[in-house]
Structure 1
Amino acid sequence: MLRYIIFVLTAATLAACVDRTVSQTVPSALDIGTPKTIYAATTRAREADGSYGYRRSDQLQFLEMTVSIPPNHTPGTLDFSYADPDPENQFVMADEDELAGPQGLASRLRGVDEVSIFIHGYNTTQSETVFRAAQLEHDLEIPGETMVYSWPSQATGYGYAYDIDSMLFARDGLEQTVRQLKSMGVDRVILVAHSMGTALTMEMMRQAELREPGWSHRNIEGVVLIAPDLDVDLFRSQMDSIKTLPDPFIVMISRKDRLLSISARLRGTAKSERLGNISSADALSEYKISILDTTAFNSDAGSSHFVAATSPALLAIINSARRVSSTFGRQRGIDVIAPAEVRNPTGATEIELTETGQAKVSSP
Structure 2
Amino acid sequence: MLRYVYLILTAVSLTACVDRTISETVPTALNVGSPETVYATTTRARELDGSYGYRRGDGLKFLEMTVSVPPNHTPGTLDFSYANPDPKTQFVMASVDELQGPQDLKNRLGRVEEVSIFVHGYNTTQSETAFRAAQLSRDIGIPGATMVYSWPSQATGYGYAYDLDSMLFARDGLEQTVRQLKSMGVKRVVIVAHSMGSALTMEMMRQAELREPGWASKNIEGVILISPDLDVDLFRSQMDSIGTPPDPFVIMVSQKDKLLGISARLRGTTKGERLGNISSAEQLSEYKISILDTTAFTKDAESSHFIAATSPALLAIINSASRVGRTFGNDRRGLDVIAPAEVRNPTGATEIVLTETGQAQVTAP
Q: Distance in 2 between matches of 1:4 and 1:264?
A: 10
Question: Is 1:229 matched with 2:229?
Answer: yes
Q: Distance in 1 between matches of 2:127 and 2:99?
A: 17
Whether the aligned pair in 2 keeps the contact of 1:250 and 1:338 (CA below 8 Å) is no
Whether the aligned pair in 2 keeps the contact of 1:67 and 1:131 (CA below 8 Å) is yes
Structure 2 residue matching 1:127: 3-state secondary structure? helix
Question: Is 1:282 matched with 2:279?
Answer: no
Return 5+ residue gaps in structure 1 as ranges. none
Q: Counterpart of 1:298 in structure 2: which amino acid?
A: T
Pair 334,317 (structure 1): closer, same or farther in 2 beyond 3 Å: closer
Deviations along 1:1-35, one digit per CA (max 9) or x if unpaired, are 54343222111122121110100000000000010
Query: What is the match of residue 59 of structure 1?
Result: 59
Whether the aligned pair in 1 keeps the contact of 2:326 and 2:333 (CA below 8 Å) is no
Per-residue deviation at 1:325? Answer: 3.4
Query: What is the match of residue 208 of structure 2?
Result: 208
Whether the aligned pair in 1 keeps the contact of 2:324 and 2:333 (CA below 8 Å) is no
Alignment of 1:68-147 (within 5 A): 68-147=68-147
Deviations along 1:281-305, one digit per CA (max 9) or x if unpaired, are 1110000000000000001000000
Return 5+ residue gaps in structure 2 as ranges. none
Per-residue deviation at 1:324? Answer: 3.0
Greater Cα shift, 316-325 or 343-352: 316-325
Whether the aligned pair in 2 keeps the contact of 1:71 and 1:88 (CA below 8 Å) is yes
Q: Distance in 1 between matches of 2:101 and 2:338?
A: 34
Structure 1 residue matching 2:271: 3-state secondary structure? helix
Per-residue deviation at 1:326? Answer: 3.4
Q: Distance in 2 between matches of 1:153 and 1:30?
A: 29
Q: Distance in 2 between matches of 1:61 and 1:338?
A: 38
Q: Distance in 2 between matches of 1:137 and 1:223?
A: 16
**What is the percent sequence identity of the aligned residues?**
79
Q: Distance in 1 between matches of 2:28 and 2:63?
A: 20
Pair 305,15 (structure 1): closer, same or farther in 2 beyond 3 Å: same
Q: Counterpart of 1:82 in structure 2: which amino acid?
A: Y
Query: What is the match of residue 363 of structure 1?
Result: 364
Q: Distance in 2 between matches of 1:47 and 1:65?
A: 17
Structure 2 residue matching 1:324: 3-state secondary structure? helix
Deviations along 1:23-80, one digit per CA (max 9) or x if unpaired, are 0000000000010000000000000000000000121000000000001110000000
Pair 352,145 (structure 1): closer, same or farther in 2 beyond 3 Å: same
Whether the aligned pair in 2 keeps the contact of 1:122 and 1:155 (CA below 8 Å) is yes
Whether the aligned pair in 1 keeps the contact of 2:205 and 2:216 (CA below 8 Å) is yes
Query: What is the match of residue 44 of structure 2?
Result: 44
Pair 167,205 (structure 1): closer, same or farther in 2 beyond 3 Å: same
Whether the aligned pair in 1 keeps the contact of 2:301 and 2:312 (CA below 8 Å) is yes
Alignment of 1:289-300 (within 5 A): 289-300=289-300
RMSD of aligned alpha carbons: 1.2
Whether the aligned pair in 2 keeps the contact of 1:192 and 1:223 (CA below 8 Å) is yes
Q: Distance in 2 between matches of 1:102 and 1:328?
A: 33
Q: Distance in 2 between matches of 1:332 and 1:188?
A: 11
Q: Counterpart of 2:129 in structure 1: which amino acid?
A: T
Structure 2 residue matching 1:185: 3-state secondary structure? coil
Q: Distance in 2 between matches of 1:342 and 1:288?
A: 13
